[in-house]
Copies of this chain bind each other. A is one copy, B any other.
Amino acid sequence: MAHLDGTFTLGLDLGGTNARAAAVDGDGSLLSLEKRRLRERTPEAVADVLAEVATAALRASERPPEQCIGVGVGIAGQIEARTHRVIVAPNLGWRDVDIAGLLAARLGRPVLVANDLSVAALGEVRAGAARGYTDAILVFVGSGVGSGLVLGGRLHEGARGVAGEFGHIKVKPDGRLCGCGERGCLEAYVGGHNLAARAAEAIAAGRASSLQPRLAPVLMAEDVERGAGDGDALALELRAEAAELLSVATANLVTCLNPGVLVLGGGVLLGSPWMRQKVEEGVRAMASRASAAELAIVDPSLADDAGVLGAAFLPRG
């Protein structure tokens, strides 16, 4: 997988607050890394910041610009694969934005855009914990829940580009309302934001819990994890239910796709060794025996750099 022909690419990671850019060579080495804070969230203003941070990363790489063979951007949101338009990006308040076109016009180069978790999965496969695998699934549990799929060595984005919306599979028909507007999604039970909200709702409804003093200003998923560690019954119950739902869903994804490696990432999983362990055990117990037999289950290795590194691999296909 090494492309040590002197070429490099630019990878950009557009979050809700910051934009990061890196120049990355063909074997995944970071040549430079730059970061800028977003000012306004309008597409034009964000494109200006992206162009600025990309240009800074290009300069800081100290490589000839003509050796830069492409630009990739990862964004938390739904991306239309064919056109690289943003269908919706809740963090930015965007709907149908041609950020690829706006940035390409500023940089004078074509720009590819993909979902942030797709990009992170690609990064882990090409330069991280899933290196060497042809079929890899990244399951991410942070404030939201999602996945990135690399199948047959390539990013699987699906017919429209919205594959991997693992957080919005239905685990309880007519269940809890999810942020997406539908009911019973996995994310509504397992996502950090919802996990904490469920605890707060139970306490508000009169359930006794040692988490009560942490309600103000706002209860966090970390508080639930800490409460579970302290033996709080409510926290233990919610965490156990989340782990069970996540285990079954992840096992089923493994059964359907038979990946060589499963990467378990995101703040909730990384912050709860108990849940991480439960999910690993659950996948090994509930995925079909044939698909679990040779499955590796690993932590991500790229941490904060997954976004820029993965995005940098988009132009390499």
Chain A residues within CB distance 8 Å of chain B = 78, 87-88, 133-135, 147, 149, 151-152, 154, 156-166, 168-170, 173, 180, 182, 244, 248-249, 251-253, 255-261, 286, 288-291, 293-295
Question: In the complex the two chains form, what is the Cα distance from A147 to B258 in whole Å?
Answer: 13
The distance in angstroms between the C-alpha atoms of A295 and B162, with both chains bound, is 12
Q: Could you tell me if A169 and B255 are in contact, using CB atoms closer than 8 angstroms?
A: yes
CB A140 to nearest CB in B, in angstroms, measures: 13
Picked from B158, B249, B255, B259, the residue with its CB within 8 Å of the CB of A258 is B158
CB-based nearest B residue for A286: B170
What residues on B are CB-neighbors of A78 within 8 Å? 290
Count of chain copies: 2
**Residues of B contacting A158 in the complex (Cβ-Cβ under 8 angstroms):** 135, 257-259, 291
Query: How far, in angstroms, from A133 to B293 measured CA to CA in the complex?
Result: 32
If A134-B159, A169-B251 are given as contacts, then 7 extra A-B residue pairs at C-beta distance below 8 Å, sorted by A number, are A87-B290, A88-B290, A159-B294, A160-B258, A165-B256, A169-B255, A170-B252
- A147 contact from B182, B248, B256, B288, Cβ within 8 A: B256
Closest chain B residue to A157, Cβ basis:
B258
CB proximity of A267 to chain B, nearest CB, Å: 22
Determine the chain B residues whose CB is within 8 A of the CB of A258 once the complex forms: 157-165
Bound: A147/B255 CA distance, A: 11
B293 touches A160 (CB 8 A): yes
Q: Which residue of B lies closest to A172 (CB)?
A: B248
The CA of A162 and the CA of B156, in the complex, are separated in Å by 18
Contact of A163 among B159, B251, B256 (CB under 8 A): B256
Is the pair B256, A162 in contact by a Cβ cutoff of 8 Å?
no
Q: Is the CB of B170 within 8 A of A248?
A: yes
| Chain B hits for A166, CB < 8 A | 255-256
- CB A181 to nearest CB in B, in angstroms, measures 8
CB-CB nearest in chain B for A163: B258
Complex Cα spacing A173 to B286, Å: 8
A70 to chain B: closest CB distance in Å? 19
CA distance A222 to B248 in the complex (A): 31
Question: If A151-B152, A154-B152 touch, does A288 touch B168 (CB 8 Å cutoff)?
Answer: yes
Nearest-CB distance from A79 to chain B (Å)? Answer: 10
B159→A259 contact, CB < 8 A: yes
Q: Which of A159, A163, A293, A295 has the most CB of B within 10 A?
A: A159
Q: Say whether, besides A134-B159, A291-B158, A169 and B256 are in contact (CB < 8 Å).
A: yes
Chain B residues with CB under 8 Å of A152's CB are: 151-152, 154, 156
Contact between B252 and A163, CB atoms less than 8 A apart: no
Separation in Å of the A169 CB from the closest CB of chain B? 4
Q: Is the CB of A173 within 8 A of B244?
A: yes
CB-defined contacts of A134 to chain B, threshold 8 Å: 159
Q: List 8 A-B pairs, minimum CB-CB distance, nearest first.
A: A158-B258, A159-B260, A163-B258, A169-B252, A162-B290, A168-B288, A135-B159, A165-B288
Cβ distance A247 to chain B, nearest Cβ, rounded Å: 9
Question: Which of B159, B248, B257 lies in contact with A173, CB distance below 8 A?
Answer: B248
